[in-house]
Structure 1
Amino acid sequence: MSDGEQDVSAATPRAPGASAEALLGTAGIARRGVGSAESQRASRAWWDADADDYLAEHRADIGDVDFVWSPEALREADARLLGDVAGRRVLEVGCGSAPCSRWLATQGARPVALDLSGAMLRHARAAGEATGVPVPLVQAGAERLPFADASFDLACSAYGAVPFVADPRRVMQEVARVLRPAGRWVFAVNHPMRWVFPDDPGPDGLTVGQSYFDRTPYLEVDDAGAATYVEHHRTIGDRVRDIVAAGLVLDDIVEPEWPEGHERVWGQWSPLRGRLFPGTAIFVTHRPGG
């Protein structure tokens, strides 16, 4: 596949005021396993339905041309987890509206922004035009990357794709395949210990509610029992094993601390919880060789 921008017009704009839950007919929560095909269908439908609301709420947090790794406001401009990006071909996996890829472009990188959601990529295209920093956009899932072997110098993901796929080991393998030797793969996800706590930024979110070792996905369903939203849990050990099984080297796990003076509440992330335990885990890896 070339770097050219792909057709991302498949998702229809939503009606004003309609929530993703209403659009998708979400009726409740279920507990069962979810395979790759159902998980991907649910994620594509969810982010197509929720893109407008998500960006209306969080555009100020993520910016239009910025690389924010986490709700703790850790920025790549400060952390430099990807190293020198100038002249490097970079794949962003699960780019959303692609502010990270646009920031990378301003640093001299050659990014390609990939996402499953056509609605998110429509926002990415519009933001590229508005900011004057367009980037190539590709619509595809992370478990099957439509790129040749060894075609990227770096790969990154800031809360994109990895928590939403049923087979994260396949994602690690695919990223390792498309990376050139010595290429870095850095990705941020919910810190696995967050799984045991309710999604509540207040005091109720400080009480353990379920087992850390329960890997049953969080699943919302419609009246027929079909998934409308899926999020998958893996332990720290699971993540490390997936990385190693893909032939990658784990260099670091960054757990951003909640910074002083940062009072923003973002979903379940808050100063109250952030000062007590980590909300984000960033895995810094590379492909051997080079």
Structure 2
Amino acid sequence: MSGTPLPLGPDGYPAPGGVARRSAGAAESVRASRRWWDAAAPAYLAEHGADLGDVDFLWCPEGLREADAHLLGDVAGRRVLEIGCGSAPCSRWLRRAGADVLALDLSAGMLARAAQLNRATGVPAPLLQADVGALPVRDRSVDVVCSAFGGLPFVADVGAALREVARVLRPGGRFVASVNHPMRWPLPDSPDPADLTVTSSYFDRTPYVETDDDGRATYVEHHRTIGDWVRAVVGAGLVLDDLVEPEWTPGRTQEWGQWSPARGALVPGTLVLVAHRA
């Protein structure tokens, strides 16, 4: 059943019954992401919450923060929509910076933690459970849409999601999103630079799928090449302003999955899309 909690492994994350490379459509991807992040939220935030902060805007594991990058511009007085907000530290940072913010996520588990942190910090970011593929937001009503490693890598039809972004943006409105760098796809999921060996094709877009014991998808991640991302942004009617590949922040020692200082010195781990609606 789609509402049945996923069994957890010793690390607190959902334990897959199997792993496959196979097709996964929009409905299956949404269903899997909602269940996985509901189950994984406590373990994920226990592992990464201190690095993410409660009122902070971290773009990526390399340590790039919006306070230094200024990719969104001046947000004071701006209507900002965050996609894939998780526990919503970015939205609270935006709220403190003077933005009129709305934090959106697919996962009720993540939003429950976001609500707790809203109360604990005294910085209440309005929260909404919704799918980026069908944003419950009026046309041309938002000045900025942002997503810091939010839902886009888990979306089957990213073109449709970006068309939704373009629909809700006002003319001149800005869109900025950080995603896994496409060059990470063919490499092993390891922080050790000794493991920088190509093990699969960069051009293979077949989704990575974890399944339960009955073969149902419990986690789905979709790969796009850099060219795919560019075409998706432009195809949605947005103007691509920049592609940022953050370098590792000097002095930062935090490892995050396959991201590490040693590996970050050699290959990019994050791609930041910067665009606007004409």
The interval holding the TM-score normalised by the smaller chain is over 0.9
Match of 2:277 in 1: 287
Q: How does 1:191-230 map to 2 (within 5 A)?
A: 191-230=181-220
What is the one-letter code of the residue matched to 2:268? P
| 2:13 corresponds to 1:20 | yes
State how far apart, in whole Å, the 1-side matches of 2:125 and 2:256 are.
27
How many pairs were matched up?
Answer: 276
Matched, 1:46 2:36: yes
The one-letter code of the counterpart of 1:132 is: G
Deviation of the 1:32 alpha carbon? 1.0
Q: What displacement does 1:11 show?
A: 9.9
> 1:189-211 deviations in whole A, cap 9, x for unaligned?
00000111010001453111111
Asked if the contact 1:189/1:281 (under 8 Å) is kept, the reply is yes
Match of residue 65, structure 1, among 55, 60, 64: 55
Structure 2: segments with no counterpart, 5+ residues: none
Deviations 1:32-53 (A, max 9, x none): 1000000000000000000000
Task: Write the mapping of 1:84-233 to structure 2, written as runs, cut at 5 A.
Answer: 84-233=74-223
Distance in 1 of aligned mates of 2:13 and 2:36: 7
SS state at 1:263 partner: coil
Corresponding residue of 1:6 = none
AA at the equivalent of 1:19: G
The letter of the residue matching 2:14 is: E
C-alpha displacement at 1:103, in angstroms? Answer: 0.1
Letter in 1 for 2:182: P
Separation in 2 of the partners of 1:12 and 1:133? 31
CA distance in 2, matches of 1:158, 1:94: 8
Amino acid at match of 2:216: A
Q: Does 1:261 align with 2:254?
A: no
Alignment-derived partner of residue 4 in structure 1: none
Look up the SS of the partner of 1:20 in the other structure: coil
Paired residues of 1:11 and 1:119 also in contact (CA < 8 A): no
State the partner residue of 1:74.
64
Secondary structure, aligned partner of 2:253: coil
Identical pairs, percent: 63
Once residues 11 and 119 of structure 1 are traced to their aligned partners in structure 2, the CA distance between those partners, rounded to angstroms, is 14
* 1:3 matched residue in structure 2: none
Give RMSD over aligned pairs: 1.8
Uncovered stretches (5+) of structure 1, i.e. residues with no partner: 1-9
TM-score by length of 2: 0.96
**Alignment partner of 1:78: what SS?**
helix
The structure-2 alpha-carbon separation of the partners of 1:184 and 1:21, relative to structure 1 and needing over 3 Å to count, comes to same
Could you tell me how far apart the structure 2 residues matched to 1:15 and 1:210 are?
28
